[in-house]
């Protein structure tokens, strides 16, 4: 029987702002709770935006007794900036004139009651990855979708995934007509080509790979 996020948290996840479809959120949760307890390490999310996907991961962390580290600089990725398709003008801080999703993310975590499970890590993904010292049981990459940020997220974060742990990648579009290519070309394909990962599931644009 498929494990599902409890109804209360699921309602909070679906009410939160973000771009994670319901079926992919459910698949993300199921994958995160499937990691064997013998695999050491926390859950790490790279790219949290306003916390929609983080609620699914927070529920998984609570169920499996793993801490969730949510990494994001909260100033929006390239595709979230003015003039781009995924820009949301009301997320711009009128004082700085820049995107600021942190207050919305914090509100989502508080409303979901997940502040005891989710550690908010505010900063640049490559900077944090370069100083990361521990193995990761479940890594979810959903950060910047440009070539450079996607490449850096792959190169700097995936070496920390523990043997038997899982790597989940969002917005993987093999057909260029469906969406941007970097998560597919610069994370998903290199992971498979490395010989260190094998695919275990695909739901919509979500791919889940196991570290060999």
Q: How far apart are CA 203 and CA 63, in angstroms?
A: 22
Distance, C-alpha 146 to centroid of its chain: 15
Q: Residue 82, CB half-sphere, CA atoms under 13 Å: how many? A: 9
What per-residue confidence (pLDDT) applies to 40?
A: 96
Percent of the chain with pLDDT over 90: 76
Concerning whether 170 is annotated as a catalytic residue, the answer is no
Q: Structure tokens of 195?
A: 């010989």
- What is the chain's mean pLDDT, rounded? 91
Fold classification of 15-73+83-171+178-209 (topology level): Rossmann fold (3.40.50)
Q: How far apart are CA 114 and CA 199, in angstroms?
A: 30
Q: What is the 3-state secondary structure (H, E, C) of the chain?
A: CCCCCCHHHHHHHHHCCCCCCHHHHHHHHHHHHHCCCCCCCCEEEECCCCCHHHHHHHHHHHHHCCCEEEEECCCCCHHHCCCCCCCCHHHECCCCCCECCHHHHHHHHHHHCCCCCEEEEECCHHHHHHCCCCCEEEEEECCCCCHHHHHHHHHHHHHHEEEEEEEEECCCCCCCCCCCCHHHHHHHHHHHHCCCEEEEEEECCEEEEEEC
What per-residue confidence (pLDDT) applies to 23?
A: 96
Q: Structure tokens of 170?
A: 């969002």
Categorize the per-residue pLDDT at 101 as very low, low, confident or very high, splitting at 50, 70 and 90: confident
What per-residue confidence (pLDDT) applies to 96?
A: 66
- Asked if pLDDT for residue 84 goes beyond 70, the answer is no
CB 49, CB 17: distance < 8 Å: yes
- Asked if pLDDT for residue 80 goes beyond 80, the answer is no
- Asked if pLDDT for residue 74 goes beyond 90, the answer is no
Lowest mean pLDDT across 18-27, 73-82, 135-144, 181-190: 73-82
- Helix 102-112 to helix 52-64 angle (10° resolution) is 40
Which is catalytic among the residues 95, 145, 160, 170?
145
Q: Structure tokens of 125?
A: 């993904």
Q: What is the mean pLDDT of residues 95-124?
A: 90
pTM above 0.85, yes or no: yes
Q: What is the mean pLDDT of residues 101-107?
A: 92
What per-residue confidence (pLDDT) applies to 97?
A: 59
């Amino acid at each position: 029987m498929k494990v599902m996020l409890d109804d209360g948290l699921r309602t909070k996840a679906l009410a939160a702002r973000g771009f994670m479809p319901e079926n992919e959120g459910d698949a993300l949760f199921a994958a995160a709770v499937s990691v064997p307890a013998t695999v050491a390490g926390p859950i790490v999310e790279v790219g949290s935006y306003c916390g929609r996907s983080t609620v699914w991961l927070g529920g998984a962390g609570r169920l499996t007794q793993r801490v969730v580290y949510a990494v994001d600089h909260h100033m929006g990725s390239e595709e979230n900036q003015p003039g781009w398709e995924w820009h949301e003008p009301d997320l711009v801080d009128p004082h700085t004139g820049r995107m600021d999703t942190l207050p919305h993310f914090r509100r989502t975590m508080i409303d979901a009651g997940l502040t005891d499970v989710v550690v908010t890590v505010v900063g640049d993904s490559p900077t944090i990855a370069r100083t990361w010292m521990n193995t990761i049981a479940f890594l979810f990459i959903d950060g910047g979708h440009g070539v450079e940020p996607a490449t850096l997220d792959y190169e700097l974060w995936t070496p920390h995934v523990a043997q038997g742990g899982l790597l989940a990648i969002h917005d993987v579009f093999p057909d260029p007509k469906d969406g941007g290519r970097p998560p597919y070309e610069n994370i998903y394909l290199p992971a498979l080509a490395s010989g260190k990962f094998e695919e275990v599931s695909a739901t919509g644009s979500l791919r889940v790979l196991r570290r060999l």
